[in-house]
Every structure is written in C-alpha cells, then in structure tokens.
Structure 1
Amino acid sequence: MDNSKRTAVLLVNVGTPDEPKVPAVRRYLFEFLNDRRVIDLPLIPQKLLVNLIIVPFRAPKSTKLYQMLWTPEGSPLLVNALKNRDKLQEALGDDFQVFAAMRYQNPHLRKVLHKVRDQRFGRLIVIPVFPQYASSTTGTIAQFVSKEIARWTVVPELRFVSQFYDNPTFIKAFTERIKEYRLESYDHIVFSYHGLPNRQVDKVHPEIASTECTCEQALPEHGKYCYKATCYETTRLLAKSLNLKPEDYSVSFQSRLTKNWLKPFSDQLVIQKAKEGVKRILFVAPAFVADCLETTVEIGVEYQELFEEHGGEKIQLVESLNDHPRWIETLKKLILEG
C-alpha cells in the first residue's frame, strides 16, 4: 500500500513506568520531572530539586502506589492506550494507521515517530489525549514532535489537536459514564482535575492572574487556552448535560506539590465536605481519559481513607473513558471532522 496517500494517527499520553519496581519508577520520574515544561524553574534549581531531592525520595513511595495500581495486564494507562489504538484502527479503516505513544518511557514518542517517518506517510495527525491544554502536557508533546519532525528529510502534512474540552462527543462520553451511577444516591458530586502551579497558568494570560480571573463563572475570551478556565468550562458543560444545579457539585484540583497551585485542593474539599455532614460523594475526573495513579489510587483509595477519617462514608470514583465506545467515537470525530 502507498503510505503517501495514507494518514498516520498518533495518540500520545504522558507515560508510565515499565514495571512497578523502584528502578523503573526512578527512570520514569527522572525523564518526566526533568522536562523543562513540567518543572519550569531556572535550570540549576530544577536539576538540583529533581535529581537530588524529588526523584531519590519519591521513587520508593511512588513504587508502592504503582504496585496498588498495577493489574495482571500491566499499567492501566498503557493497557488502555493499546486498546484505544486497536479499536480506533478498526473504526477508521485502511486509509489510516493508528499508533500509540508515551511522552515519557515506553512506547516512547521518539521511537514511534521514527516508525511514522520510516513508513513515509503523507499526513500525520497528533492527538495528545488531554482534554484541556496545558504547557506541561499538550505543550511538551507539541514541542517534542516539532523538534523531531524538523530533522526529517520529508515532512508530512501535520495536524495537531491541541485540546477538546468542549467537544460535544467528549462531553457526551463522560456524561454517559457518570450516568452509570445513580446520582440521586450521592450527597454531592466533585469534578476533580489535576492541579498545576499558579505560575504556569498565569503565563497563558500574564495580564490577568489566575487567582483574580472570573473563569469560575464563564469562559473568558483570554481563557480558551487557560487550563483553569477550560476545566471550569468542561464542568459547566457536564453539569448542564446532567441537569445539575450549582449547589449539587464542586470543582477542585488534586495532586498538588505546594500551596501555590490551583485551588481549591481536592483533598481539603473532601475534609470540608465530611465535616459538613456529607456522607456520599461521587468523584469525576474529566482531565483523565484513562484511569491511572491519580484516579484509581489517589481518589479511589487515598481520598476514601481521608473522607472516612473525618466522618464521611463513601467516595465513588466514576470510571474514566478508558476504551469506552463513545471515547473511540470522540477520537474518530476529532480526526475526521477536525
């Protein structure tokens, strides 16, 4: 088959260790945290912080968490990435070739791009599978792909899907996931997103600090590529599709490293709700299209323990999209209709 008439589709996620053992986790953290877009401190402080403090001390702890996450098939993030690749390939047909890659570790983005280069496709569509744009996720993938392709002798036609937080099929997919649970049996719903340092969010609109923005109420013109603003917009769209009232739900941000990250913090919200007498919370994580450490362990295990400690009873995590048919349909439409 003449690949010059075919399109390569590249689905890219953040990455996962090769196995739940300290050396593999250390390799993953080393590559991940040394990315200048992930920890955007001056070079020397970043290197000292990451390589002398964070990686050595965090790797053993993170390994225990990965051991809780791991399944007989392996890392859920990778397992679902490969399922997405195969199901999307079936949905698209022979005019397309679908590849799955990870920005960090394996299957490494560089190696997968080399496969695309060697097969000489006429067109390449890159989809970082992050609904809301952030420099430390979608941005680093765009930078890596651009640098790599710049070295190629023949550069194919390139399209990059930068975000899809408001895509109707994506919203419908998460709505269906949420509706698998009886909403009336929960006292409150929390839409939890991965946190970011305030300084990274502020770089998108330096004239308006994220702590002073009104994006909690509506998406501002300057907020279309602001992670915080698009998280709140995703929530509003989901709430509308579920007929939720404002008092029915909250938005929060998890996985923070310091107090200078996006607020409110999910763990603190869990404590607050427990102290208010809330007994059952339904947690939704619309920044993640596949279940991972942050959903299965952080929300499903750690927040459950925290909730119980302060008087709550049950935190129910809504399963992510994983390989749901509606997610495959979302990817197909992003490719064909973009």
Structure 2
Amino acid sequence: MRGIILVNTGSPASPLPGDVGRYLSEFLMDERIIDIPFIFRFLLVRGVIVPFRKYKSAKAYGAIWTDDGSPLLVNSIRLAHKVEGLSGVAVEVAMRYGSETVESALARLKARVANLSEVVVVPMFPHYAMSSYESAALHAKSELQRLDGRLAVKVAKPFYNQPGYIASLVNLFASLDLSQYDWLQFSYHSIPIRQLQKSLSTVSKEHALDVNYQHQVEETSRLVAQQLGMMDRYGVSYQSAMGKSWLGPSTSEVLTDLPKRGVKRILVISPAFVAENLETLKDINVEARKIFMDAGGTEYTYVSCLNDSSQFAQFIVDWVESV
C-alpha cells in the first residue's frame, strides 16, 4: 500500500525565543544552507547568529502566529487533507527542520495504512535549489530508508513548469482586474550564486535545466505572465539576499525604482513558496509593501501563496500519480 508525505521547510514549535533559537540552530547548521566547513559553520551559527537573531525572529514569528499555530504548518496540513480526500491515499506532513519530523510522519502513516510498502515524498518546492528542494528530498529519502529498509521510496521532482501548477498560480489572479495594474512583480527567495554553480557542476549539460534555480523561477514567471496576458509588464526579482554574490536584482531595489518609471499600481507574488510563511507574510506583504509605497507607489496588492487551494491539491494528486 502507498502513502504520501508532503515535505516543507519547517517552523519553530512556538514564537518563544527558546523554540525559535532551537529551530534556527537546526536550520542554519544544515550544510546545504550555509555551505562552509562544519567548525566555521558551528561557530558562526551557535556563537553569532542564533544568540542575537532568535529574539528578533521570535518577535516576527509572534506577529504572524495564528490561534492554530504556524501558518506554514497549518496550511500544509490543510493541503494534505485535501490531497488525501481527492486521492484516497493517506497523506502526512513532515518538515525538514523542527518537530514535525519525517520519522513522526512515517509513524503516523504506518498507524493508518496496513502493509505500507511505498512512500512518495513530495518536496513542496517548485524550483530546484540545494538549500530547499535538494536538502528536503535527500533528507526525507535517507530517513525513510534508515527507518524501514523494506519501503520503496519515490521522490517527486520539482514542478516549476508543470501545467497544473502554472494553472493553479494563474487562478490566484481570477478575482482581480488585471487591467487596473501597471506591473506584476515575481519575487523569489535568493540563493548564493556559488550554490547555483555547485548544483550545475553535479550534472551533465543535458540535465542542467533540471537543477538551474534561476532558469526555473524565470520560466515559472514567464508562463504565468503569458497566461495572464502580462508579458509586457512583469519582472523577476529576489528577496532575502545576503550580499552581491547572491542572485539579483533585489526586490527592494526594484520596488524602489518602479515608481520612478511611472509604475504606481502593482501586483506582487512569491511563487517559490507554496504556503504562507514568515518570509511571505512579513518580508513581502509588509516590508516590501512599505518600500514600494514610500517610493511613490499608490497600490500594492500581494497575491497569496497557493496554500490549500483545491486546484493545487488536485495538481499534487496528479503529480504523485506520475511519479
């Protein structure tokens, strides 16, 4: 019998500094997040970043926390329920970091599915990056094989250009009058250029596009803009860059410049994330909004993540069946 595990990044157990600190430590100690030698990573994360950042991050998490918990986890669970209802296959949620582990997800699957023999892992990252898709996929597969060597484990590929995913994104704009907007800005989480180059160095030229994050986010943007009829008024940028050696241009710089070019009314979407999280709710919906409005913009409409969209849930069902 088959089961499905949807894997996302993760979230602290609560917005308290202690829980946030533990989450940040696990997250930042991943060699695919900060790809430097272990001893330097340990000193940087445990000695510098976490002791100071946990308090600021705790305040930010507190601002987005819901009565049901972390938005990322809540929306992931709701999506899992929809996928299970549509497919008739048991679905559980796991996080790469935090308490919702692959081990606990497998235990729940085994408690519900008699004679579980196959697990399909679906990393909830449309685009390939070593710090997101690759880390989650390899970790989940390794854990499942460690926990039960008899299981057949299959991992779904990134789905950045799949028609069902693109259609789900396009549907997010269905209630909007696009003619009232000057511009559509796609904003993606930036990654270090060296990580992109590392990924490309692991494959042949024939498979380069399979691991090329920059190409994949640009292709997602192009396909969505094309279907929306906005090919002449869209752009791609990146948020959360930590320096000039990261993919750009930066979203903050683009949003500062757009009003100078006469772009006053914009739509902003962050398709790298399928569920709302700290980055989308705070960085994109609040901080980026302020940057644009302070620069002279008149309307900033944030287009939400897919979350538990029924159309997206059906796409996941179809995507799993193709694995």
TM over 0.5: yes
1:188 maps to what in 2? 183
- Out of 112, 133, 136, which is 2:105 matched to? 112
Structure 2 residue identity aligned to 1:164: F
1:214 maps to what in 2? none
Alpha-carbon distance between aligned partners in 2 of 1:164 and 1:155, rounded to the nearest angstrom: 28
2:227 maps to what in 1? 241
Alpha-carbon distance between aligned partners in 2 of 1:86 and 1:222, rounded to the nearest angstrom: 35
- Out of 281, 286, 292, which is 2:271 matched to? 286
* TM-score for both structures, normalised by structure 2: 0.93
**What RMSD in Å do the two structures reach over aligned CA positions?**
2.0
2:253 maps to what in 1? 268
1:203 maps to what in 2? 198
**C-alpha displacement at 1:122, in angstroms?**
1.2
Structure 2 residue identity aligned to 1:66: Y
Matched, 1:150 2:120: no
2:83 maps to what in 1? 88
8 Å CA contact 2:130–2:199 kept in 1: the answer is no
8 Å CA contact 1:117–1:152 kept in 2: the answer is no
* Percent sequence identity over aligned pairs: 36
- Out of 7, 10, 32, which is 2:5 matched to? 10
SS of aligned partner of 1:223: helix
- Out of 211, 214, 217, which is 1:231 matched to? 217
Alpha-carbon distance between aligned partners in 1 of 2:121 and 2:145, rounded to the nearest angstrom: 15
**C-alpha displacement at 1:61, in angstroms?**
1.1
Superposition pairs of residues 1-338 of structure 1, within 5 angstroms? 6-93=1-88, 96-116=89-109, 120-152=115-147, 154-206=149-201, 222-245=208-231, 247-338=232-323
8 Å CA contact 2:144–2:153 kept in 1: the answer is no
8 Å CA contact 1:205–1:222 kept in 2: the answer is yes
Alpha-carbon distance between aligned partners in 1 of 2:292 and 2:318, rounded to the nearest angstrom: 39
For structure 1, list consecutive stretches of 5 or more residues without a partner in the other structure. Answer: 1-5, 209-219
**Cα gap change, 1:28 to 1:89, in 2 (>3 Å):** same
Alpha-carbon distance between aligned partners in 1 of 2:306 and 2:252, rounded to the nearest angstrom: 23
**C-alpha displacement at 1:116, in angstroms?**
4.3
**C-alpha displacement at 1:81, in angstroms?**
1.0
Structure 1 residue identity aligned to 2:298: E
Structure 2 residue identity aligned to 1:25: V
Alpha-carbon distance between aligned partners in 1 of 2:95 and 2:263, rounded to the nearest angstrom: 39
Alpha-carbon distance between aligned partners in 2 of 1:243 and 1:221, rounded to the nearest angstrom: 30
Alpha-carbon distance between aligned partners in 1 of 2:177 and 2:156, rounded to the nearest angstrom: 34
8 Å CA contact 2:102–2:144 kept in 1: the answer is no
**C-alpha displacement at 1:278, in angstroms?**
2.1
Q: Any idea what the Cα deviations from partners look like across 1:70-94, whole Å, max 9, x if unmatched?
A: 122221111111111111111111x
Structure 2 residue identity aligned to 1:110: E
SS of aligned partner of 1:204: helix
SS of aligned partner of 2:184: strand
* TM-score for both structures, normalised by structure 1: 0.89
Structure 2 residue identity aligned to 1:230: Q
8 Å CA contact 1:295–1:317 kept in 2: the answer is no
8 Å CA contact 1:13–1:103 kept in 2: the answer is yes
**Cα gap change, 1:23 to 1:240, in 2 (>3 Å):** same
Q: Any idea what the Cα deviations from partners look like across 1:257-307, whole Å, max 9, x if unmatched?
A: 222110111111111113323222100111111111111111110011111
Query: What number of residue pairs does the alignment pair up?
Result: 320
Structure 1 residue identity aligned to 2:8: N
Alpha-carbon distance between aligned partners in 2 of 1:80 and 1:194, rounded to the nearest angstrom: 19
Deviates more, 1:270-279 or 1:172-181: 270-279
**C-alpha displacement at 1:108, in angstroms?**
1.7
